[in-house]
Copies of this chain bind each other. A is one copy, B any other.
Amino acid sequence: MKHTKIKELLSSDGAKTGVVAKGWVRTFRNSQFVALNDGSTINNIQCVVDFANTPEDTLKRITTGAAISVMGDLVESQGAGQKWEIQVKSLEILGDSDAEKFPMQPKRHSLEFLRANAHLRVRTNAFGAIMRVRSVLAYAVHKYFQDKGFVYVNTPIITGADAEGAGEMFQVTALDLNNLPKDENGYINYKEDFFGKHTNLTVSGQLEGETFAMALGQIYTFGPTFRAENSNTARHLAEFWMIEPEVAFNDLDDNMDLAEDFIQYVIKYTMERCQDDLKFLDQRLADEEKQKPQDQRSDMTLLEKLKFVLENNFKRVSYTEAIDILRDSTPNKKKKFQFPIDAWGADLQSEHERFLVEKHFKCPVILYDYPANIKAFYMRLNEDGKTVRAMDILFPGIGEIVGGSQREERYDVLVEKMKVLGIDEEELWWYLDTRRFGTAVHSGFGLGFERLVLFVTGMTNIRDVIPFPRTPQNAEF
């Protein structure tokens, strides 16, 4: 018999006879009240079991985590907190769950414990909510760009190019490491590898994306990217998903406008569609905040923070202005920064970004026009000869969420820069072709998807917003 999703049952517009629900038992009280969840919503449906007429053996098997199927009537609930419940007429145990052994008992588990059980943590309220929010956010990303006529491009994951320098790379090989083919000089002979050369996992699809933007006009990527850096922090993953739009004829101002509009859209879309999940996560964060000393608590709740981002323009500040603000700031004068700011040209550290966003401006900030020598080779050089048309978007509690730039479209300037940095022109012949044939102003940015999910869910460790996190010493599942 066809079952109905619990989300549908809970939003029914009337009583119904003979409904079937299937799901997993969250709790079972008084041998009578089953809280049943099927993942379609964070809310459970209460199933009232006729315990007098249910075999003792069946009642015993209604344990947390068991899969059951119930048939009965959907009626108005007498209890508080739910409009509808099921008066059960028949109940079937589909799959048992040994109460002694099932790790996800209805109590508070540590996030560390839940990470070690990433295959089961999604059966908790919090992780069910996070994963549904993540999914809706991902869809909002596609919807935003597709509605604007952007073309989704799957740039390669395995790449022979390693010139971008965005970070340490993982190597990909089909060679037998216990029996490596060597050349006459004793070096590994990559000609015998699958691709006939040394290959890595991509750190960014930007360069390939640019070639498509220079034909299709507006494109975006949304795929996994990788860093082999030994960063054991709450903000870094070895494998994460990145969104990279690239637009022909856009300058840096257009790029900032796009990024701001995009972020506001996807947050708004998700707030409208994930109300129950976000309400739960809002409460979860509020409970967590209560554990903190008063002066470390956030001024705003999660939902207030999200609304704030929607309703306020991001503050646009040049790097040079930011340096002035930081140099004159109290923490700098009182030597509270680990890296004191005394001269133009310094790379901004997390502590500086947090000061600007959380203390000084108290809103999302777009920093732009950075010194050329702390940014990537492909960023467009300004007339001053020392800054480039880069922009980073900084979010409260998250830090950098977007990094982007107007690209250097001038062939000669780009080649000169590559020479200075020792980047091989021959390896990037195809990238340079975009500047050889019909070059034009263009811009783009990269947004780390998990950092966005962190912000929207109010979680604080990036390992908790991706199904199976990959970090140093951890590739379980």
User: Which residues of B lie under 8 Å from residue A40 when comparing CB positions?
Assistant: 149, 216-218
Copies of this protein, total: 2
User: Which residues of B lie under 8 Å from residue A95 when comparing CB positions?
Assistant: 409, 435, 437-440
Q: Report Cα–Cα, A22/B248, bound state, in Å.
A: 9
Complex contact A158–B197 (CB within 8 A): no
Complex contact A159–B467 (CB within 8 A): no
> Smallest Cβ distance from A206 to chain B, in angstroms?
13
Complex contact B170–A158 (CB within 8 A): yes
> Smallest Cβ distance from A150 to chain B, in angstroms?
8
Complex contact B131–A212 (CB within 8 A): yes
Complex contact B170–A173 (CB within 8 A): yes
User: Which residues of B lie under 8 Å from residue A475 when comparing CB positions?
Assistant: 156, 158-160, 195-197, 199
**Contact string against B for A residues 109-146, beta-carbon threshold 8 Å, 1 for contact and 0 otherwise:** 00000000011101100001001101110110010001
User: Which residues of B lie under 8 Å from residue A197 when comparing CB positions?
Assistant: 475
Max count, chain B CB within 10 A of own CB: residue among A65, A132, A159, A440 = A440
Known A168-B174, A196-B473, A438-B95; contact A39-B409, beta-carbon cutoff 8 A: no
Nearest B residue to A121, CB-CB: B215
Q: Report Cα–Cα, A155/B150, bound state, in Å.
A: 25
User: Which residues of B lie under 8 Å from residue A5 when comparing CB positions?
Assistant: 149, 217
**Contact string against B for A residues 177-196, beta-carbon threshold 8 Å, 1 for contact and 0 otherwise:** 11010000001100000111
User: Which residues of B lie under 8 Å from residue A156 when comparing CB positions?
Assistant: 239, 467-468, 470, 475, 477
User: Which residues of B lie under 8 Å from residue A24 when comparing CB positions?
Assistant: 214-215, 438
Complex contact B158–A238 (CB within 8 A): yes
Complex contact A38–B217 (CB within 8 A): yes
The interface size bin for chain A is 35 or more
Known: A95-B437, A132-B151, A208-B467. 4 other contacts (CB 8 A): A101-B436, A122-B211, A128-B216, A131-B153
Task: Mark A residues whose CB is within 8 Å of B.
Answer: 3, 5, 7, 22-25, 38-40, 65-67, 94-98, 101-102, 104, 118-120, 122-123, 128, 131-132, 134-136, 138-139, 142, 146, 149-161, 168, 170-175, 177-178, 180, 187-188, 194-197, 199, 201, 208, 211-212, 214-218, 223-224, 226, 228, 230, 238-239, 241, 248-249, 409, 430-431, 433-441, 466-468, 470, 472-477
- Nearest 9 pairs of A and B residues by beta carbon: A95-B439, A39-B216, A39-B217, A195-B475, A119-B211, A67-B438, A135-B152, A67-B440, A119-B430
